[in-house]
Amino acid sequence: MQGIEVIPVEGKSAQKEFVELQYTLYRHEPHFVPQPRMAVKDLLNRQKHPFYVNADVELYLARQDGKTVGRIAGIYDRAHNRFHEENAGFFGFFECIDSQPVATALLDRAREFVFSKGATVMRGPVNPSTNYECGTLVDGFDSDPMVMMTYNPRYYPTLLEGAGLRKAKDLLAYSSHAQKIEMSKIDRVADRALKTNGVTVRPINMKNFQGEVEKVWEVYEAAWARNWGYVPMSKEEFMLMGKDMKMILKPELVLIGEKAGKTVGFALALPDVNQALKPAGGHLFPLGIFKILYYQRLVKSVRVLALGVVEEYRATGLAAGFYAALVRNARKLGFGECEMSWILEDNVLMNRSLELMGAKRYKTYRIYERN
């Protein structure tokens, strides 16, 4: 058997190998949801995607016996390090056959890259930051991931730990059903919080989409800044993400809270477009786009991605106002299954609140690290 070779991705042929490897490795995984190849390529475009303005990234392929058997990205995120005043590196887009030597070689190569940039710790996986898909699934392999959540084979945690990585933080996903949530108590708390604080909650105005996204960006920076793993997003990066979501969002599930014309919070839930993407198999043409459009009409599940308020209103119960409005609107639109994710394992208030509302923890994702 030949040795394992880990090489940088250079040229269009290697870039295609990098993208295609996941589809090949997961072809027998029943719960894998192939993302459109075009979207994956756009996210990996280091010349055009705004994330890379503030990050140094190197992509690598692992080869053995003439075959591509793994991939990884080494990521040095300057925006993260400036904000947190640390020298952290990251790895992402990790995919690998069930081979400890291959996994170790990939992770060692990513570690060498980020350490050469000055990092003293490496965390991941993040694809390419916590603002996108991140974490390794360690519990809950028996169902498909929802929109913008990851899926991986069961052997990945073993490979990562075998390469010397240890748990940094767990990210939790909760499941509920919009039509079955008991709302009487939640409505009372929500109505009281909104009235006491003089806050109104409304759907996003699609006719002024760019202006609305700018308001949300300002709240995002203020409301999430103290969260573990928070990575500041440039306005250009945030606007691009908003543009991508615009194609699938429902205005009634993107809520903005205002007081005297000032935005004080927002909530975002997206229909689980993964249910429409899966039949397309990662292809848009020639028939993939028609499959997506057809199945998108049948989607009745939703994921709550974000719900946050600025710090001065954090202890007022205002979050309940957003949650109650989301549930009411989801019911009107006919949505049922609902995922709330991801929630930090040590966010005691949010975890307890979800459990009191009847939500069940059903998936766990893990961020690993190595000094």
User: What is this structure's pTM?
Assistant: 0.94
Taking only the tens of pLDDT, the chain with its 371 residues reads 469 999 999 999 999 999 999 999 999 999 999 999 999 999 999 999 999 999 999 999 999 999 999 999 999 999 999 999 999 999 999 999 999 999 999 999 999 999 999 999 999 999 999 999 999 999 999 999 999 999 999 999 999 999 999 999 999 999 999 998 888 888 898 899 899 999 999 999 999 999 999 999 999 988 888 889 999 999 999 999 999 999 999 999 999 999 998 999 999 999 999 999 999 999 988 888 899 988 899 999 999 999 989 988 887 888 889 999 999 999 999 999 999 999 999 999 889 888 888 899 999 999 999 98
Q: Is 174 left (phi over 0), alpha (psi -120 to 50) or beta?
A: beta
How far apart are the C-alpha atoms of 272 and 337, rounded to whole Å?
10
For the chain, domains (ranges, CATH) are 5-171 (3.40.630.30), 176-364 (3.40.630.30)
